[in-house]
């Protein structure tokens, strides 16, 4: 690619990326913004982001529909894996890799190798963004927030003042919180969340508070084919629409909201509030079906593979060959994960209350804790052999 003054900025319309536009322009760049709509904004917000880009004086702005790519690239393997990062966080920022793809595609159209993002030097997103770009070719990466943070320790306050001095307003919420929203869910940080204090009323996204939960329980069925959700309540839908529908159904019941403190890639502790109603519901349904149709050894071993896959995605290794290798195993394990699961919630938690599949590993002559087609001698013989090592240890060491 030839050198030019054109630079492509991954743009969300928030405080950080809004700051980047005039900052880059004052550095001599022609700023082209790309908003990769990964499904978390409504039509009004989408229009606001486009208007915000124009207000800030960009050379061009494009919006890309990233929902289908997010489902195929992340949601499908993540649900098949079935593990959250550190047992809690459902990797809601994994749309970053699809944002990189959209940004690089726009740079190719413009014939430039200059890429910009609004990630800070304190967080994980800079690692995800930079590693994904570096794995895709020879690009120049400009990160304005990282550039200012040495001189300005209170970067958000500086960004706000910088914009306001140039006549650009800042949304009230953006003064207190960093809010990321996409098809996967909502993450909120900043303000009292960063101080390990109770989140304020403003730290809320889609999930309704307890006082607003419906009185009637909600039941929803999800059908899977080869471990991928294909239908909700009997209606087949594209993957991205399935997740959007589950978000709409379970958010009013407060499902999928939590707080967690994670070990970030760069070693800091990161505390966030997250909301992922649809994704949490999908994970619950998939796990219930998988537990019934996989063998004991599969159910024991698969979480080890899943946790490694999750670590790679969390830490920025989206293009590492090991991730592809692990996905091949995960796909292979899903050949019998076919069936329908009925989910139920009365608020906050979601349970799989019914599972239907032709692959459930039922023993024809036995039901757990109810009946068996073997006798007492067989049971006693099994127990004797199964516990041989522990029994011998007790005999040799006097039962201590």
The angle that helices 388-396 and 376-386 make with each other, rounded to 10 degrees, is 60
> Does residue 291 carry a pLDDT above 90?
yes
Query: Helix axis angle, 15-26 relative to 155-165, nearest 10°?
Result: 60
Same domain, yes or no: 246 and 308: yes
Is 263 within the bounds of a domain? no
Asked whether residue 1 carries a pLDDT value surpassing 60, the answer given is no
CATH of the domain at 84: 3.40.50.620
- Average pLDDT score over the chain: 92
Q: Are both 146 and 251 inside the same structural domain?
A: no
Q: What is the per-residue pLDDT for 310?
A: 97
Its domain, for residue 397, covers 371-400
- How much is the pLDDT for 393? 86
Query: Quick one: 92 and 34 in the same domain?
Result: yes
Average pLDDT on 187-195 reads: 90
Cα(287)–Cα(299) distance, integer angstroms: 10
Task: Name the 3-class secondary structure at 118.
Answer: coil
What mean pLDDT comes out for the span 318-334?
97
Which H or E element spans position 65? strand 60-65
Where a domain ends, among 163, 178, 193? 178
Q: Tell me, yes or no, whether 116 and 224 share the same domain.
A: no
- On whether residue 111 sits in a domain, the answer given is yes
pTM, whole model, 2 decimals? 0.86
pLDDT given at position 342: 98
Q: Residue 211: how many CB atoms within 10 A of its CB?
A: 5
Mean pLDDT (whole number) for 2-24: 91
Q: Clarify whether residues 46 and 120 are in a common domain.
A: yes
Spatial distance between the Cα atoms of 95 and 101, rounded to a whole number of angstroms: 10
Q: pLDDT class for 138, splitting at 50, 70, 90?
A: very high
- If asked whether residues 380 and 343 sit together in one domain, one would say no
Name the one residue in this structure whose structure tokens are 């939960």: 213
156, 178, 200 - which closes a domain: 178
Q: Give alpha helix (H) positions in the chain.
A: 15-26, 43-56, 67-70, 76-81, 96-110, 125-134, 144-148, 155-165, 172-176, 191-194, 239-250, 277-293, 296-314, 321-332, 376-386, 388-396
Q: Answer whether residue 154 shows pLDDT above 70.
A: yes
Q: Which of 1-10, 130-139, 162-171 has the lowest mean pLDDT?
A: 1-10
Give the model's pLDDT for residue 47.
Answer: 94
Strand partners, 33: 9, 61
Look at 16-30, 144-158, 222-236, 240-254 and tell me which has the smallest mean pLDDT.
144-158
Mean pLDDT within 146-157: 88
In a domain, 375, yes or no: yes
> Do 230 and 351 fall into the same domain?
yes
Q: Are residues 237 and 382 in the same domain?
A: no
Instruction: Give residue 341's pLDDT band: very low, low, confident or very high (50, 70, 90).
Output: very high
Same domain, 398 and 352: no
Q: What percent of the chain has pLDDT over 70?
A: 95
Q: Is residue 324 part of a domain?
A: yes
332 domain-assigned: yes
Please indicate, yes or no, if residue 150 is contained in any of the structural domains: yes
Which residue from 226, 295, 222 is spatially nearest to 80, judged by alpha carbons? Answer: 226
Q: How many separate domains does the chain show? A: 3
For residues 45 and 39, the answer to whether their CB atoms sit within 8 Å is no
236 and 135 share a domain? Answer: no
Question: Which of 160, 178, 196 is the C-terminal boundary of a domain?
Answer: 178
Residue 195 inside a domain? The answer is: no
Instruction: Express as a percent the part of the chain with pLDDT over 90.
Output: 74
pLDDT at 197 over 70: yes
Quick: pLDDT tens for 342-377.
999 999 999 999 999 999 998 675 555 566 777 888
Whether the pLDDT of residue 122 is over 90: the answer is no
Same domain, 251 and 122: no
Q: Give whichever of 154-158, 270-274, 352-356 has the largest mean pLDDT.
A: 352-356
Same domain, 162 and 226: no
| Distance of alpha carbon 10 from alpha carbon 26, whole angstroms | 18
Q: Report yes or no on 56 lying in a domain.
A: yes
The CATH number assigned to the domain holding 290 equals: 3.90.1260.10
Q: According to the per-residue pLDDT averaged within each range, which of 127-131, 179-183, 381-385 is highest?
A: 127-131
pLDDT, tens digit, for every residue of 158-179? Answer: 999 999 999 999 886 656 787 8
């Amino acid at each position: 690619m030839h050198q030019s003054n054109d630079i492509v900025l991954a743009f969300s319309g928030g405080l950080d990326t809004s700051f980047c536009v005039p900052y880059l322009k004052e550095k001599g760049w022609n700023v082209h913004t790309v908003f990769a709509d990964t499904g978390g904004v409504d039509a009004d917000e989408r229009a606001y982001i486009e208007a915000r880009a124009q207000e800030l004086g960009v050379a061009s702005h494009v919006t890309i529909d990233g929902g289908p790519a997010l489902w195929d690239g992340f949601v499908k393997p993540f649900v098949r894996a079935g593990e959250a990062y550190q047992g809690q966080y459902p990797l809601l920022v994994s749309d970053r890799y699809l944002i990189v793809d959209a940004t690089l595609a726009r740079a190719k159209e413009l014939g430039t190798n200059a890429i910009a993002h609004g990630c800070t030097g304190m967080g994980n997103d800079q690692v995800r963004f930079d590693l994904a770009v570096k794995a895709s070719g020879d690009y120049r990466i400009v990160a304005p927030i990282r550039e200012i943070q040495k001189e300005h320790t209170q970067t958000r306050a500086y960004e706000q003042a910088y914009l306001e001095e140039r006549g650009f307003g800042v949304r009230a919420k953006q003064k207190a919180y960093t809010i990321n929203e996409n098809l996967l869910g909502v993450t909120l940080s900043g303000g009292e969340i960063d101080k390990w204090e109770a989140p304020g009323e403003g730290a809320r996204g889609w999930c309704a508070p307890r006082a607003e939960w419906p009185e009637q329980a909600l039941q929803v069925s999800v059908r899977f084919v080869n471990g991928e959700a294909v239908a909700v309540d009997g209606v087949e839908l594209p993957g991205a629409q399935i997740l959007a529908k589950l978000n709409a159904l379970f958010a009013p019941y407060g499902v999928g909201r939590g707080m967690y403190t994670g070990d970030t890639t760069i070693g800091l502790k990161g505390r966030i509030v997250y909301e992922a109603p649809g994704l949490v519901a999908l994970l619950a349904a998939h796990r219930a079906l998988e537990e019934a149709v996989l063998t004991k050894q599969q159910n024991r071993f698969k979480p080890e593979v899943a946790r490694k896959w999750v670590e790679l995605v969390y830490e920025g290794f989206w293009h590492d060959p090991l991730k592809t290798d692990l996905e091949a195993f995960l796909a292979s394990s899903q050949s019998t994960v076919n069936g329908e699961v009925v989910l139920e919630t009365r608020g906050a938690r979601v349970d799989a209350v019914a599972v239907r599949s032709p692959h459930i590993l039922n023993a024809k002559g036995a039901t757990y804790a109810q009946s068996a087609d073997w006798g007492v001698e067989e049971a006693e013989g099994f127990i004797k052999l199964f516990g041989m090592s522990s029994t011998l240890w007790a005999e040799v060491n006097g039962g201590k």
